[in-house]
A and B are shown apart, each in its own frame.
Chain A
Amino acid sequence: MRSPTQASPSGKAVRRRSSFVAALILAFVTTTSGQDPAPASPLTLVSRDARRAIPTSIQNGREVVALDDLANLFQLSVKEDALAGGVTVAYRGRTIVASTDRPIVSVEGRVVSLPAPMIRSGRRWLVPIEFISSALAPIYDQRIELRRASRLVILGDVRLPRVTASIDSAGPPTRATIEITPAAAVAVSADSGRMLVKIDADGLDFSASAMSGLIDRIRVGDQPNTVVVDTNGAGRATVTTANNVARVLIEVASTATSELKAPTPAPTPAPPSETPIPDPRALIAATRTWQTIVIDPGHGGDDVGVRSAKGVEEKQLTLDIARRLRGMVESRLGLRVILTRDDDRALGLDERAAVANNGKANLLISLHVNGSRVPDTSGAEVFHLQLDRQSAEFVRAATSEGASLPTIGGTVRRLDLIPWDLAQARHLDESSVLATVLQEELQRQIPMSPHPVRQGPMRVLAAANMPAALVEVAYLTNPQQESRLATDDFKTSVAQAVFSAIVRFRTWSEDSQGQ
């Protein structure tokens, strides 16, 4: 063996050659391993504090992320279990167990599927990026949302709505739509050559398709929660909200030929004023004149509803209260009141909604008396409709795509194709307001439940094509409440509270109309 001191004069050259060869080998290794994983653009972790990159790579056609990178970002501990051939990821006592042989992980004892198994790469463990949403999110104490399309991982209570901008028609006038999901408050101001859309959010998950016509570009503004529409004409905007999606409908007409005049500029230079768009609910209310309300006494006939230990039946109480309420509304407000049933007979849930729809009612209130397996449970509750996710997506698609019918005047009338039994989908926001007003008025008169307003897939509300709510006035299974339900005083108090809520809700609608 040759010692370093025995190096020949050409030893440096040999060492240089050796280093070069080593570098070549290293480069080769790096290159060959670089084919797998190939680099991918990083994900961005967005939290209230900062934005940080999460490096990812491609392995076997799947995008993967290293567990040690996740450990640094999310304060996780990662321990290898050599015996089991896997790792344990822990966060505040909650654990995920992953192995390399199966595309599943155990999250707190629950088996969760991943698109591919964990991979060992040198000293690193790589997991599909779906690990973030499927395994990490369930054990973390803050919300974690993976948005693959926009390559974002949202951590915590960050309001980062998806904002998409697209051209509807090149025109002129040019029409475009900006969709904000989930819906957020929007204010639009127009200036010469541009419109500023300010969204009540911490930032925007923004994407836009190619622009055309009189709109040059729709882009994120200087503020992270603003969108700028660069125009070649005078623009105006209307805002609508349905199913938790806010839509800003923009129309830009040529300045020379437009009937749509841009707002007259102020005589002296001033910062552009932001004109708040009226609440979309006002637009809905503006189309109606209050004439009719429908009161639905729950159950009836063979369907007695809840029956107390003493034999008091829900169907009798609901009809009694409904009649009292009808008297108050007709005599004091002069509105027409339709009861879905005015005697003791069975009536289907769809028939009840149909009575309200056919009567073109402005409001449907379904009256019920509650029951519980726990005798102590007490208090009134108000329910409004909660749409199942798939129904909500269906309605959203129907309202965004809709259908168009040509009219005699040559224009096109847009139709929203919503199934009849999901008619309530158009009124979810109004019904939410109605439920809140009912709760506030009821609590002035009678005891309320600890959960006074709830949402659920309530069948009688789903097909109602107007603001609608279901009121459970008390628990018939509670002995004290059963006694109170038998009194005129209590039933009148309930009717009075619902009456007051109707008055307030009508006022709210009229105020909205006036804005």
Chain B
Amino acid sequence: MNMKTWWLAFVGALAVLVLIALSIARMYGPARPAPTGEAPAASTPSTPKETAHITATLFFGAPDGQMLVPVRRDVALADTVAEQGRQILNAQLSEIPEAPNVSVIPAGTKLRAFYVTERGDAFVDLSSDVITGHPGGSLNELLTVYAIVDAVTANLPAARRVQILVDGKEADTIAGHVDLRRPLSRDDSLVRDADEK
């Protein structure tokens, strides 16, 4: 083996050692964010590389407090049905309607979890603020419940019915009137048409 060959072998072996060391450091080192292009973790807000949106229909209380009114809002496009549902519900729970429409969701209500079964039953798990902050009344409660049910079913074709959970558990009612023990189907009878006054 002449000197040139020896050098080449030495440099090659060094490169291999460096690569192995880097791989080990990568395996045992601190976690890194998922590479771009992969789905974001379910618990973190979606931050897609491109600002793609869908136009979702959210539901607010009509100015007279008697019905729901559908309102179109841009919501970030998500990779999965469940993530899309979370984006829509977070918007439904947190968006402040433009006057004269009113919110029908108690302030501070947060989405704890959302998932859809293969049968088309969606489960919306809300924080207990939805109960503690609810002002009561049958109509108020119907509007709260169906704003959520209709927001899911109007925007996600995969969801046919919605069961509302509170703090991860089945709830009887929110304010003592509307039965939440079973999944509820969309009810357009509480929704006022855009051109209806």
Contact = CB atoms under 8 A, between A and B. Distances in A.
B172 A458 contact: no
Contacts of B161: 388, 390
Interface in B126-176: 135-140, 142, 154-155, 157-158, 161, 172-173, 176
A383 B187 CA distance: 15
Given A314-B136, A459-B172, A113 B157 contact: yes
A316 to B, nearest CB: 14
A371 B66 contact: no
Interface residues of B, number: 38
Nearest to B84: A111
B138 A372 contact: no
B189 interface: yes
Contacts of A415: none
Interface stretch (A61-69, A297-305, A395-403): A297-305
A381 B138 contact: yes
B139 A373 contact: no
Given A306-B135, A306-B137, A112 B157 contact: yes
Interface in B97-115: 102-104
B157 to A, nearest CB: 5
Interface string B59-82: 001011111000010000000000
A454 B189 CA distance: 9
A303 B176 contact: yes
Nearest to A371: B137
A104 to B, nearest CB: 9
Interface string B4-40: 0000000000000000000000000000000000000
Given A113-B157, A388-B183, A457-B184, A371 B176 contact: no
Given A112-B157, A368-B138, A450-B66, A373 B185 contact: no
Interface residues of A, number: 45
Contacts of A305: 136, 176
Contacts of A477: 135, 137
Contact of A462 (B65, B137, B179): B179
B135 A458 contact: no
A381 B142 CA distance: 13
A450 B158 CA distance: 35
Contact of A370 (B63, B137, B181): B137
A391 B182 contact: yes
Nearest to B146: A456
B140 A371 contact: yes
B66 A470 contact: no
A349 B138 contact: no
Contacts of A303: 176
A376 B177 contact: no
Interface string A469-491: 01010010100000000000000
B178 interface: yes
B65 A372 contact: yes
A369 B185 CA distance: 26
Nearest to B67: A451
B139 A472 contact: yes
Given A112-B157, A388-B184, A373 B173 contact: no
Given A374-B102, A459-B178, A349 B136 contact: no
A439 to B, nearest CB: 15
B38 to A, nearest CB: 22
Contacts of A381: 138-139
A299 B137 CA distance: 11
Contacts of A271: none
B153 to A, nearest CB: 11
B56 to A, nearest CB: 9
Interface centre among A109, A368, A458 (most CB of B within 10 A): A458
A284 to B, nearest CB: 24
Contacts of A372: 65, 137, 139-140
A435 to B, nearest CB: 13
A455 interface: yes
B176 A298 contact: yes
Interface in A381-411: 381, 383, 386, 388-391
A454 B177 CA distance: 13
Contacts of A112: 157
A307 B140 CA distance: 13
Nearest to B156: A111
A460 interface: yes
B55 interface: yes
B142 to A, nearest CB: 5
Contact of B66 (A113, A390, A451, A459): A451
B88 to A, nearest CB: 12
Contacts of A388: 161, 182-185
Contact of B63 (A298, A374, A449, A454): A374
Nearest to B102: A373
Nearest to B189: A455
27 contacts: A110-B154, A111-B157, A298-B176, A303-B176, A306-B136, A314-B136, A368-B137, A370-B139, A374-B64, A374-B102, A376-B64, A377-B66, A381-B139, A388-B185, A449-B66, A450-B64, A450-B66, A455-B189, A457-B178, A457-B184, A459-B173, A459-B176, A470-B138, A470-B177, A472-B138, A475-B137, A477-B137
Closest 8 CB pairs of A and B: A371-B137, A374-B65, A377-B65, A459-B179, A306-B136, A372-B65, A457-B179, A370-B137
Given A298-B176, A381-B138, A456-B142, 10 more contacts: A110-B157, A112-B157, A113-B158, A381-B139, A389-B185, A449-B66, A450-B66, A457-B182, A457-B184, A459-B176
